[in-house]
Amino acid sequence: MRPKRYDWRTGCSVEATLSVIGGLWKAVILFHLLEGKRRFGELSRLVPGTTQRMLTLQLRELEADGVISRTVFPEVPPRVEYELTEFGRSLEPILLTMRDWGLSFQSRRLGEPKPAKDLAA
């Protein structure tokens, strides 16, 4: 049995949140879905560093949690679109807050002349 890492029942509220968006690339995926529907290939390009396999797995879990919807178009070149559900959209405040902090963090780091410990971090 997989005791999972996070337990939304016994854990604190943050832990509950992580049980949904705690996956490796979930937050990043959801962030890119804020702007609208995305095809699999788009997400693949938007999230470099992840493999197709990982992307698929993460998308499946998000779908299972009711955060995103998956629409398959029965076309000859297959097309699949992922979209936030109403429930998934409720995560927007979190994602936007993370984006804001990230932007600030990035510019802060870029402004630093020399990192204290060049290799790490």
Partner DNA sequence: CTGGATCCCCACGGATACTG
Partner DNA sequence: CAGTATCCGTGGGGATCCAG
Applying CB under 8 A, the residues found at the interface with its own copies are: 1, 3, 5-18, 20, 24, 27-28, 31-32, 46, 48-49, 64-66, 85-87, 90-91, 93-95, 97-106, 109, 116-117, 119-121
Which residues between 92 and 121 bind DNA (CB under 7 A)? none
How far is the CA of 66 from the CAs of 23, 45, 83, 109, in angstroms?
15, 23, 11, 36
Which amino acid, one-letter code, is at 10? Answer: T
37 contacts 82 by C-beta, under 8 angstroms: yes
Supply the minimum distance, in Å, between the C-beta of residue 113 and DNA. Answer: 29
53 interacts with DNA by CB under 7 A:
yes
Element counts in the chain: helices (H) and strands (E):
6, 3
Supply the DSSP symbol for 8: T
The entry of DNA, its own copies, none near residue 85 (CB within 5 to 8 angstroms by kind) is: its own copies
Question: Which is closer to DNA, CB of 45 or CB of 97?
Answer: 45
Dmax (CA) for the chain in angstroms is 54
Binds 37, which of DNA, its own copies, none (CB < 5 to 8 A, cut-off by type)? none
